[in-house]
């Protein structure tokens, strides 16, 4: 047993708590501590990816209690990827925020660290109720971060976001109650066995619980009828927060993958079939809506918010084919889209600060400082976002197309995906040409924060790097997908033999 495994949760938790305990801390120290913690998380992410790369699951028994009874943390390839992605993304966000945005409200860094603890916990836990708890941690922290900086738009969007998520939490508890009431267990591996062992007469109740979970995760992930909280919430929040939120919808996607592939994924005709059946059309519609919304949005942040929706649609539509290649392709797309939407949120702030008026609105024609530099960055970011070569967007699109080409329903995805790509192209070219090609000089030049520019460039560099080093990444993701599709291996590792035997004997 290695204690490194729990550090992705404990480090940010301790950092956040210490920042509260030692208040009032000078903002410089807060930044230092927060950045140091995030760097450590990144290193841990790298460790996790290399450890999980062996294909073996790493377990951590909290309180030294065996699996179905105590809470167990499980590190597999998927968790490792998500940890690394979160850590990397948050490193950029915290650095960007440390350039001044963290001063706009109280306790940015403490809340940021708590947010990370919540997200990492959600990725690591092997217990369904514990997943709920970590969801709540990441949600409450996200509410606070969303409101960071104040203002009416944030209050309004925040209220909607909070209320919808409260309802979602209630549904989560209902699902947990149903599952526990029928199976008497909460550990995901144990649940999987129990679900598979339930006779057909009891299946509809379990499926009903799975549907509740689908709604809950669908709200987090932002699937079609459940996504309307997202555009305003994301476009209202401050840049580094919105950039961090790029991972939040992915938490929903992660939960869908984890729960539906593991808990409901066992047996001859797994219970997750119903979920995939619903997810496919809804995700496709989500994808379409994301494209249309991106085209119809009035500001860069709103557009990016719709791009988040689009990415979720793409992801879930691809996932719902449930083959090793489609899952792998979806994961690649997940990484790419998280990076790029984050880039766009930061870029919107960078551009907005340099515009004479209108911030990031498309309708205002206003001079912009440093327009060639910023225009160049925007151009490259837009290329990657639109899925044009040679950046990661192209690779991910290519993989998705290849992975779904053999599927009977694949052409629907192709059609919508390519149409949406065209819509993005129209949207970003309209935005870019309107902003950077219009004439006009700034009346008063504004300083451009070089560090912020470098951060954005570096993030785009990540997209390029993802493309350049595509092969190892793809191989890793393919293995990840294969691991996900074999829940029995997960169960065999997590549960001791006695627990498994008990399930088999039970009627």
Partner 1 sequence: MSLGLVILIPLLGACLTAWQREGTSRNLALMAALPAVLSLVLLLAWLPEVLAGVTQVQRLAWIPSLGLELSFRLDGLSWLFAMLIIGIGCLIVWYARYYFAGKPGAGRFFTLMLLFMAAMLGIVLSENLLFMLVFWELTSLVSFLLIGFNTDSQGARRGARMSLVITGGGGLMLLAGLVLLGQAVGSYQLTDVLAAGPMLRAHDHYGLILGLVLLGAFTKSAQFPFHLWLPHAMSAPTPVSAYLHSATMVKAGLFLMARLHPALADTELWFSLVTVTGMLTLMVGAFVAMFMHDMKGLLAYSTVSHLGLITLLLGLGTPMAMAAALFHLVCHALFKAPLFMMAGYVDQATGTRDMRKINGMWRFMPVLMGLSAIPAAAMAGLPLMSGYLSKKMLFSESLQLATPDWAVAVIPVWVTLAGLFSVAYSIRIFHNVYFNGKPIDLPIWPPREPRYAALAPIALLAMLSLVIGLMPAEAYRWLVHPAVLAARQTLLPQYEFDQLGAALPMAMSLVAMAGGLLFYAIRKPLFRLHARLPEVDAKEIFDWIMRWVIELSQRRVYQLENGSLQRYLMFLLVTAVILVGLELIRLPDWRGPLPLTAIDPLTAVAAAVLCLSAIGVALFHHYRLPALLLLGVTGLFVTLTFARFSAPDLALTQLSVEVMAVVIMMLALSFLPQQSPKESSGARFGRDLVIAGLVGAGIATLSFAILTRPYESIATFFLANSLPGGGGTNVVNVILVDFRGFDTLGEITVLGIAAVAVYAFTRDLHLKERVAGSSAGHWVAEPHPIMLSMVARLVLPIALLVSAYIFLRGHNMPGGGFIAGLITAVALTLQYMSGGLVWAQERMLTHFRPLIGGGVLIATATGLGSWLFGRPFLTSAFGHFDWPLVGEFELATAMLFDLGVYTTVVGATLLILANLGKLMTVSGPGKEVG
Partner 2 sequence: MELLYALTLGVLTSCGIYLLLRARTFTVILGLTLLSHAVNLYLFASGRLATSAPAIVGFADHSADPLPQALVLTAIVIGFAMTAFVVVLALKAAVELRNDHVDGENPDEDRP
- Looking at residues 155 to 174 of the shown chain, list those that interact with partner 1 (rule: CB under 8 A): 159-160, 163-164, 167-168, 171, 174
Burial-class residue 13 by CB neighbours within 10 Å (0-12, 13-18, 19+).
buried
Looking at 76, 102, 190, 349, which residue binds partner 1 (CB under 8 A)? 190
Residue closest to 132 by CA, chosen among 162, 174, 161: 174
Q: Which helix (H) or strand (E) holds 453?
A: helix 450-468
Contact stretch for partner 1 (CB under 8 A) within 234-242, 257-265, 311-319, 378-386? 378-386
Least separation in angstroms between CB 7 and partner 1: 10
Separation of alpha carbons 66 and 496, rounded Å: 8
- Tell me which of partner 1, partner 2, none is bound by residue 359, counting a contact when its beta carbon lies within the kind-specific cut-off of 5 to 8 angstroms: none
| 436: contact with partner 1 by CB under 8 A | yes
Q: Which is nearer to partner 2, 136 or 364 (CB)?
A: 136
Enumerate residues 54-113 that contact partner 1 by CB under 8 A: 60-65, 68-71, 105-107, 110-111
| 14: contact with partner 1 by CB under 8 A | yes
| 120 CB-near residues (< 8 Å, 6+ apart) | 8, 9, 12, 41, 83, 86
Separation of alpha carbons 346 and 301, rounded Å: 9
**What's the gap between Cα 168 and its chain centre?**
17
- Tell me which of partner 2, partner 1, none is bound by residue 114, counting a contact when its beta carbon lies within the kind-specific cut-off of 5 to 8 angstroms: partner 1
Least separation in angstroms between CB 303 and partner 1: 11
Looking at 289, 342, 377, 455, which residue binds partner 1 (CB under 8 A)? 289
Token look-up 């008063």 returns: 444
Give the tokens for residue 316: 């879930």
| 3 state DSSP class of 408 | coil
Separation of alpha carbons 22 and 497, rounded Å: 47
| 303: contact with partner 1 by CB under 8 A | no
Contact stretch for partner 1 (CB under 8 A) within 140-148, 238-246, 256-264, 482-490? 140-148
| 40: contact with partner 1 by CB under 8 A | no
Looking at 29, 36, 418, 451, which residue binds partner 1 (CB under 8 A)? 418
Main-chain dihedrals φ then ψ at residue 61, nearest 5 degrees = -90, 105
Residue closest to 233 by CA, chosen among 331, 319, 345: 345
What residues line the site for partner 2 (CB under 8 A)?
129, 133, 136, 140, 143, 147, 152, 155-156, 158-160, 162-163, 166-167, 169-170, 173-174, 176-178, 180-181, 186
């Amino acid at each position: 047993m290695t204690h490194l495994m729990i550090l992705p949760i404990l480090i940010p938790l301790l950092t956040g708590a210490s920042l509260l305990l030692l208040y009032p801390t000078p903002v410089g120290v807060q930044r230092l501590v927060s950045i140091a913690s995030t760097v450590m998380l990144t290193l841990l992410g790298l460790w996790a990816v290399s450890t999980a790369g062996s294909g073996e699951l790493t377990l951590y028994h909290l309180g030294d209690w065996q699996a179905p009874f105590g809470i167990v943390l499980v590190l597999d390839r998927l968790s490792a990827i998500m940890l690394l992605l979160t850590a990397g993304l948050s490193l950029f966000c915290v650095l960007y925020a440390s350039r001044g945005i963290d001063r706009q409200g109280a306790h940015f860094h403490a809340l940021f660290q708590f947010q990370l603890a919540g997200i990492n916990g959600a990725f690591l836990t092997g217990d369904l109720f514990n997943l709920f708890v970590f969801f709540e941690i990441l949600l409450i922290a996200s509410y606070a971060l969303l409101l960071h900086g104040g203002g009416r738009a944030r209050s309004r969007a925040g209220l909607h976001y909070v209320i919808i998520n409260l309802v979602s939490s209630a549904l989560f508890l209902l699902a947990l109650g149903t599952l526990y009431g029928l199976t008497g267990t909460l550990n995901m591996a144990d649940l999987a066995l129990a679900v598979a062992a339930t006779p057909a007469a009891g299946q509809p109740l379990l499926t009903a619980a799975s549907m509740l979970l689908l709604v809950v995760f669908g709200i987090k992930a932002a699937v079609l009828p459940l996504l309307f909280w997202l555009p305003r919430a994301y476009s209202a929040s401050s840049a580094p927060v919105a950039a961090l939120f790029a991972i939040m919808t992915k938490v929903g996607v992660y939960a869908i993958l984890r729960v539906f592939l593991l808990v409901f994924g066992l047996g001859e005709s797994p219970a997750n079939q119903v979920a995939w059946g619903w997810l496919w059309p809804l995700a496709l519609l989500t994808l379409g809506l994301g494209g249309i919304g991106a085209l119809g949005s009035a500001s860069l942040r709103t557009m990016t918010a719709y791009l988040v929706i689009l990415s979720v649609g793409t992801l879930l539509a691809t996932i719902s084919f449930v083959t090793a290649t489609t899952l792998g392709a979806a994961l690649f797309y997940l990484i790419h889209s998280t990076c790029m939407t984050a880039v766009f949120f930061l870029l919107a702030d960078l551009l907005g600060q340099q515009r004479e008026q209108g911030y990031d609105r498309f309708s205002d024609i206003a001079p912009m400082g440093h327009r060639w530099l910023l225009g160049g960055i925007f151009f490259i970011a837009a290329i990657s976002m639109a899925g044009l070569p040679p950046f990661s967007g192209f690779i991910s699109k290519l993989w998705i197309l290849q992975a779904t080409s053999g599927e009977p329903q694949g052409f629907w995805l192709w059609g919508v995906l390519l149409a949406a790509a065209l819509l993005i192209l129209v949207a970003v070219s309209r935005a870019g040409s309107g902003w950077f090609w219009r004439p006009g000089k700034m009346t008063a030049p504004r300083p451009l924060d070089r560090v912020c520019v470098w951060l954005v460039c570096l993030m785009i560099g990540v997209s390029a790097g993802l493309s350049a080093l595509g092969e190892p990444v793809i191989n890793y993701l393919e293995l990840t997908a294969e691991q996900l599709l074999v829940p029995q291996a997960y169960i065999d590792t997590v549960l001791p033999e006695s627990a498994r035997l008990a399930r088999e004997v039970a009627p």
